[in-house]
């Protein structure tokens, strides 16, 4: 029995030795390339990925294995569609920060490059290879590299790399989209903030007319969040026009439409007193309707009809805007708003502009001053009516603001304007 066990052990040991010898033989006889190392810290970049562009590609890596004078520092074949036929005079190589002379270059069928410097390179050397004037494929798409390695003179891999494919994308022709634009005016300044859907620079043009005249940089570097403060503005109810421009990295520019903001008044402001009792500056326009007339479709609600005759028969006078210099004797009552305003009506644009100036200057709203009574203006008036509900709403025994600018609302606005100007 013991003899059989010994025979079995001898048989097992014999076959184990044969198995190990076979494995070792395979390892010795296998090509070295099967056990090639990888390039360390490998990366690449191109200065343009647009279809058909003449681009420069930069490859950076660290050698794991030393290279001899006949070895290729870089053996790269781009994906199908690339053209390196014009790259021979646009090459640069540095080894450990030292520029090297390229001894031989082969463009591999105008789709790649064999680069040799006829010098030994030690292991763990940092190499940077720049190949310029590479023509990108004419169609957008994903293009994997065919080969990317250091190699022997015969092209066998020494250290290899498996980079991500080159993605050729259509040229960027879309300008940045502006959003969340907020202009917050102060007494003599204004803060501008906005966002863009892509990194962009930004600037603002501003002035007293839509011709602007002044320009300031908001963001000088590419960013998606933009903020800036404009100083040195005229105070108290002055309308400023402005326009925002944003430009992305591809030099696409978006420009906002013309808009306005109004600098605010404050409690210490007072207009200059007149030299005579009847002087009004010539540049203040008369925008008041003629006597005994009411603008079409501006009839008051039923609750306000009791006082309509006061508005109808009022003698017209020149009506200054808040931003203009008033030179009138303080005892003269000059109505600021003279016509009814409602969301669905044919309103007097000049009165709407003055209403918007009033709400921005006195009530600290941020309305666009354009003479159009919009939903934002309606909501601002509703807030105003709720604030002065005792004088505007309670008189008619109503609880909710209407957003319509009729007799009581007009009277309160004119009262506040007089108080603000002559306080």
Domains of the chain in start order, with CATH, are 34-168 (2.60.40), 178-262 (2.60.40.10), 302-422 (no CATH)
Check if the beta carbon of residue 105 is closer than 8 Å to that of residue 73.
Answer: no
Provide the pLDDT for residue 91. 93
Cα–Cα distance measured from residue 110 to residue 106, given in angstroms and rounded to the nearest whole number: 9
Q: 3-state secondary structure string, the chain?
A: CHHHHHHHHHHHHHHHHHHHHHHHHHHHHCCHHHHCEECEEEEEEECCCCCCCEEEEEEEEECCCCECCCCEEEEEECCCCCECCCCCCCEEEEECCEEECCCEEECCCCCEEEEECCCCECCCCEEEEEEEEEECCCCCEEECCCEEEEECCCCCEEEECCCCCEEECCCCCCCCCEEEEEEEECCCCEEEEEEEEEEEEEEEEEECCCCCCEEEEEEEEEEEEEEEEECCCCCCCCEEEEEEEEEECCCCEEECCCEEEECCCCCCCCCCCCCCCCCCCCCCCCCCCCCCCCCCCCCCCHHHHHHHHHHHCCCCCCCCCCCCCCCCCCCCCCCCCCCCECCCCCCCHHHHHHHHHHHHHHCCCCCCCCCCCCHHHHHHHHHHHHHCHHHHCHHHCCCCCCCCECHHHHHHHHHHHHHHHHC
Pick from 396, 369, 365: which is nearest to 381 by CA? 365
Cα–Cα distance measured from residue 264 to residue 186, given in angstroms and rounded to the nearest whole number: 6
Provide the pLDDT for residue 250. 87
Q: What is the full per-residue pLDDT of the chain (423 aa) written as tens digits?
A: 555 555 555 555 555 555 555 545 544 444 444 445 889 999 999 998 989 999 999 999 999 999 999 999 999 999 999 999 888 889 999 999 999 999 888 777 788 888 999 999 999 999 999 999 999 999 999 999 988 999 998 889 999 999 999 998 887 889 999 999 998 888 888 999 999 999 999 999 999 999 999 999 999 999 999 999 999 988 767 889 999 999 998 899 999 999 988 887 644 433 333 333 222 333 334 444 433 333 344 444 433 333 323 333 333 434 444 443 333 333 334 578 989 999 888 899 999 999 998 898 888 898 998 899 999 999 999 999 999 998 898 877 888 999 999 998 998 998 888 777 644
Cα–Cα distance measured from residue 383 to residue 380, given in angstroms and rounded to the nearest whole number: 5
Provide the pLDDT for residue 361. 83
Provide the pLDDT for residue 170. 83
Provide the pLDDT for residue 329. 35
211-222 exposure pattern, b = at least 16 Cβ within 10 A, e = fewer: ebeeeeebbeee
Check if the beta carbon of residue 339 is closer than 8 Å to that of residue 351.
Answer: yes
| Pairing label, strands 37-38, 40-46 | unpaired
Exposed/middle/buried for residue 206 (C-beta within 10 Å: 0-12, 13-18, 19+):
buried
Check if the beta carbon of residue 380 is closer than 8 Å to that of residue 359.
Answer: yes
Q: Which two tokens stand for residue 57?
A: 């590609």
Provide CB contacts within 8 A for 154, sequence distance 6+.
none
| Pairing label, strands 190-207, 239-248 | antiparallel
Answer positive or negative: Cα dihedral of 273, 279, 283, 284.
positive
Answer positive or negative: Cα dihedral of 208, 212, 216, 219.
positive
Pick from 305, 284, 278, 280: which is nearest to 294 by CA? 305
Cα–Cα distance measured from residue 173 to residue 199, given in angstroms and rounded to the nearest whole number: 14
Pick from 157, 154, 91, 83: which is nearest to 127 by CA? 91
Q: Quote the distance between the C-alpha of residue 289 and its chain's center.
A: 45
Provide the pLDDT for residue 145. 93
Pick from 321, 205, 323: which is nearest to 264 by CA? 323
Cα–Cα distance measured from residue 290 to residue 294, given in angstroms and rounded to the nearest whole number: 8
> CA torsion 75→37→62→74, rounded to 10°?
-10
């Amino acid at each position: 029995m013991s003899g059989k066990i010994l025979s079995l052990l001898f048989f097992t040991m014999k076959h184990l030795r044969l198995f190990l010898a076979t494995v070792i033989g395979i390892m010795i006889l296998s090509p070295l390339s099967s056990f090639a190392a990888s390039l360390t810290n490998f990366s690449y970049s191109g200065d343009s990925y647009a279809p058909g562009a003449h681009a420069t590609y930069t490859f950076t890596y660290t050698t794991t294995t030393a290279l001899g004078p006949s070895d290729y520092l870089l053996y790269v074949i781009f994906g199908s569609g690339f053209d390196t036929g014009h790259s021979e005079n646009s090459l640069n190589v540095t080894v450990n920060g030292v520029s090297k002379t390229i001894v031989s270059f082969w463009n591999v069928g105008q789709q790649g490059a064999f680069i040799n410097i006829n010098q030994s390179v030690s292991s763990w050397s940092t190499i940077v290879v720049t190949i310029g004037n590479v023509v990108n494929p004419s169609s957008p798409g994903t293009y994997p590299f065919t080969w990317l390695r250091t190699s022997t003179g015969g092209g066998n891999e020494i250290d290899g790399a498996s980079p991500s494919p080159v993605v050729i994308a259509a040229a960027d022709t879309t300008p940045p989209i502006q959003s969340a634009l907020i202009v917050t005016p102060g007494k003599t300044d204004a803060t501008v903030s906005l966002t863009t859907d892509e990194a962009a620079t930004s600037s603002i043009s501003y002035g007293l007319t839509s011709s602007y005249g002044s320009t300031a940089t908001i963001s000088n570097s590419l960013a998606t969040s933009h903020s800036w403060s404009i100083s040195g503005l005229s105070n108290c109810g002055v309308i400023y026009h402005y326009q925002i421009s944003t430009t992305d990295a591809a030099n696409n520019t978006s420009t906002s439409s013309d808009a306005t903001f109004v600098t605010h008044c404050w409690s210490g402001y007072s207009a200059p007193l007149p030299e005579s009792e009847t002087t009004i500056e010539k540049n203040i326009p008369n925008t008041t309707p003629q006597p005994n007339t009411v603008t079409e479709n501006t009839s008051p609600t039923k609750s306000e009809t009791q006082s309509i005759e006061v508005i109808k028969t009022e003698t017209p006078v020149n009506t200054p805007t808040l931003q203009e210099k008033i030179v009138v004797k303080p005892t003269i009552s000059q109505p600021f708003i003279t016509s009814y305003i409602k969301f669905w009506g044919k309103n007097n644009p000049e009165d709407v502009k003055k209403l918007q100036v009033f709400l921005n200057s006195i009530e600290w709203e941020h309305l666009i001053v354009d003479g159009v009574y919009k939903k934002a203006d309606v909501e601002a008036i509703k807030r105003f009516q709720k604030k002065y509900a005792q004088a505007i709403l309670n008189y008619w025994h109503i609880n909710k603001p209407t957003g319509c600018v009729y007799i009581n609302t007009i009277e309160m606005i004119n009262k506040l304007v007089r108080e603000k100007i002559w306080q």
